[in-house]
A and B are shown apart, each in its own frame.
Chain A
């Protein structure tokens, strides 16, 4: 039996008055998968997530979690869902410890040994009033509550923007642990290295539209590989087919350029005839991909 995706979004749309915030969002997230959701500020990431949580109502298309409608069945869905918002706002006169416990209780779970372990790992002082927490500490409160929960689907909206590198590591390990336990994770993030390291598949959103989904390996084929080469003769690399942005290097006969993946084999064969002395090729990073989609350049 083919397993049904945990999250399924089909041509989702949302209008705020005249402003079309979401035009066409279509993607799905499967069990045991970490899905990276990337895009610049204002592209519609948080709006999409708020539709998924039933906080706002879609004006078109459909979205289901566990096969249930995100608006009508939100309460049922939320029993098996954990969420960490991008900007965590906490009730100022409650302590972090009280908030963690309250959030857990509202899910029908309770404070466990795991919660204590997480509080220790993240280095949170749970006796402080939320009013006195920094942004990072507020995020920790929400993260600890989410990770102590035994949900089937986790949504993180830019969860590490206020965390230090040590806590970021703790977060990443916890997410990988979720993945191993077969949970589905939707991770919206600006930190592309984090997405690159953790996500199985990625969706890129621009101006309310998903413009690309797939694994990083699949996406790399859509862009160019950076090549740095030092040749033994005066060959002019600009004559090669499918190279872009050629620049001369620091030494004589050293070149840097980008190659379209489809032309890679031809170019390598040509270069081999010109006494290659050194060759470095770098696959496109997610950042390159991101820039490619957003600026239309490499």
Chain B
């Protein structure tokens, strides 16, 4: 039996196992790409519309979020489309690939399924190879759907080569990170650790891309995530990033196979070390238990959001200096006007970032709240509930830290932006004032708390549909983040709490909205808590 024996059967098994999640990802991603492309001519069809958005896209703030792209000559609708969508789609596709790859390899191994599979006549590297093929097929299929969708949308300025370059370019970028996940799954000895390492590397490539894009776009070649920006599908089609991604993916797969061949089943290079013989005095109840189990994740999230914020802050000086792009302005308008304009630009940039920070800061909170139910179904709470621990106490041991983590992460993230940003400015007075900073905090916290409140409600009353929280958060993020670029109707924004408050600190906090959003969050938590006290716990 060769090392790869029966890989084919395992591939079929993988698709049988993951059919729903794969279907969901493919449908959502392909529909997103095709529908935006379809609608795009209505949004940016005329030359005046294109000219207006072209200026926006060239501003450093937008470059930091969407990537640096170069325009040559007459700009077409398709070029604007590529500029707005490529990096965004790549990010989602990387998330999909990391989830699929770790789930298919280390996740299966953690569950003991790989042991069962390997006891049959399958090759030692067959489960890994099957996971790799699963990723190749899923990404390939998505790539084809993208290309076909783009061709069908037939945007002005689009070319057949460009359409296929986008499809194949996104597919290879996805594959690169998917194979990175395969490698970290071989190196770590459990899936949470594998996911953590992969996301750290993903985060580093994102930050590297952002900083280089704003300052020296040529250096963006050093970040694998930056390669999608270099495709330039509709103005100067470049296939080099595709080959680079493929080559990197192959190298990563080779490394994964090597690591797989050298290790025992269930083991990894980074092994779980023995720990304490006795519990510390601190570890004594459900709350300290959650901290003990999740402290690394909580601290890592807060730090990551702060670093994310600081990284965005470093581009303040480039963004908030209109004279750099328009040196004659001072002579025309005078210094005071220029500083006023600089301040406006920074306010608008900070408002957009606040939306991003709020969404990112909500993630760890939702994770913690949903954990209350995951832990329940895993049987981990049975031992706790056999002790004199009430439902209320246990529930708030998850909910409390969740609210605290998200709140701290958001304050830290926005603080990172403002402190670093103001420090980087030549004229500190152009920057964000303390008052504006606190407005920014008050503007987004209610939204974060309402999202968390929805998670609490679902875990307390209808835990089966708890995943809905993620879709709702994603919808809220997309509607606000992409909403104005895609000119979405305003009701779409109002579907989720992300759109209920005006953009802050660009505008002032609406304290009425603030109050009833806080009230809503409290009601959601109370109803969820009452439900949790009444319902049956779900055990294996």
* A interface, CB within 8 angstroms of B: 50, 53-57, 74-79, 81-83, 85, 87-95, 97-103, 105-108, 111, 125-129, 131-132, 142, 145, 155
- Interface stretch, picked from B95-103, B377-385, B499-507, is B377-385
Cβ contact within 8 Å between A85 and B389: no
Question: Interface code B61-96, partner A: CB below 8 Å = 1, 0 otherwise?
Answer: 000000000000000000000000000000000000
User: In the complex where A50-B539, A79-B388 touch, is A85 in contact with B383 (Cβ < 8 A)?
Assistant: yes
With a CB–CB cut-off of 8 A, which chain B residues contact A53? Answer: 382, 385-386
Structural contact, B379 and A85, CB atoms closer than 8 A? yes
Residue interface bits B502-540, CB-to-A below 8 A is 1, else 0: 000000000000000000000000000000001011011
How many residues of B are in contact with the other chain, CB < 8 A? 34
Instruction: Let me know if B383 and A94 touch, CB within 8 A.
Output: no
Which of the residues B380, B388, B390 comes within 8 Å of A89, measured between beta carbons?
B380
Given contacts A55-B537, A106-B285, A106-B389, contact A89 B275 (CB under 8 A): no
Pair B272/A132 contact, Cβ less than 8 Å: yes
CB–CB A106/B279 < 8 A: no
Can you list 5 pairs linking A and B with CB atoms under 8 Å apart?
Answer: A56-B536, A57-B536, A75-B389, A90-B383, A94-B275
Verify if B464 is at the interface (C-beta below 8 Å from A): no
Residues from 164 to 218 in B contacting A, C-beta threshold 8 Å: 190
Distance (Å) between the CB of A21 and the closest chain B CB?
Answer: 11
Sort A-B residue pairs by CB-CB distance and give the 7 closest, nearest first.
A101-B279, A89-B379, A83-B386, A56-B536, A106-B387, A95-B275, A78-B388
**Which chain A positions have C-beta within 8 A of B537?**
50, 55-56
Cβ–Cβ < 8 Å partners of A82 in chain B: 386
Q: Does B435 contact A (CB under 8 A)?
A: no
Q: Determine the chain B residues whose CB is within 8 A of the CB of A88 once the complex forms.
A: 379, 383
| 8 Å CB contact of B283 from A50, A81, A98, A126 | A98
Q: Contacts A85-B383, A89-B379, A89-B382 given; 20 further ones with Cβ under 8 A? A: A55-B537, A75-B389, A85-B379, A85-B386, A88-B379, A88-B383, A89-B378, A89-B383, A97-B278, A98-B276, A98-B292, A100-B279, A102-B283, A102-B289, A105-B285, A106-B286, A111-B278, A125-B274, A127-B275, A142-B383
Instruction: Point out the residues of chain B lying under 8 angstroms from A57, CB to CB.
Output: 534, 536
B197: min CB distance to chain A, Å: 16
CB distance from B382 to the nearest CB of A (A): 5
A93 to B537, CA, bound (A): 23
CA distance A75 to B279 in the complex (A): 23
A-B pairs under 8 A by CB, number: 119
- B272 — which chain A residues lie within 8 A by C-beta? 93, 129, 131-132
Instruction: Please measure, in the bound complex, the distance between the C-alpha atom of A99 and the C-alpha atom of B278, giving whole angstroms.
Output: 8
Q: Which residue of A lies closest to B381 (CB)?
A: A55
Give bound CA distance, A85 to B536, whole Å. 17
Residue among A81, A89, A106, A132 making CB contact with B284, cutoff 8 Å: A106
Complex alpha-carbon distance, A54 and B492, angstroms: 44
For residue B16, CB closer than 8 A to chain A, the reply is no
Which residues on the A side are within 8 Å of B120 (C-beta)? none
CA A97 to CA B283, docked complex, whole Å: 12
- Residue in B279, B384, B387, B534 whose CB lies within 8 Å of A97: B279
The complex places the Cα of A90 from the Cα of B284 at a distance, in Å, of 16
Q: List residues of chain A with CB within 8 A of the CB of B540.
A: 87, 89
Q: Does B278 lie within 8 Å of A91, measured CB to CB?
A: no
Indicate if B293 sits at the interface (CB-CB under 8 A).
yes
**Cβ contacts under 8 Å, A94 to chain B:** 275, 292-293
CA distance A89 to B280 in the complex (A): 21
Docked CA distance A56–B382 (Å): 11
Per the bound structure, the CA–CA distance linking A88 and B388 in Å amounts to: 18
Known: A55-B537, A95-B276, A102-B284. A78 touches B387 (CB 8 A): yes
Within 8 Å of chain A (Cβ to Cβ): is B277? yes
- The residues of A that contact B387 with a CB separation of less than 8 Å are 78, 103, 106-107
Which one of B276, B279, B380, B389 contacts A90 once the chains associate, using CB atoms below 8 Å?
Answer: B380
B388: chain A residues at CB < 8 Å are 75-79, 106-108
B293 touches A91 (CB 8 A): yes
Within 8 A of A (CB), among B273-332: 273-280, 283-286, 289, 292-293
A126 to B384, CA, bound (A): 19
Contact pattern, B 247-279, Cβ under 8 Å of A = 1, otherwise 0:
000000000000000000000000011111111
Q: Do A55 and B277 form a contact, CB below 8 Å, given A89-B380, A129-B272, A131-B190? A: no
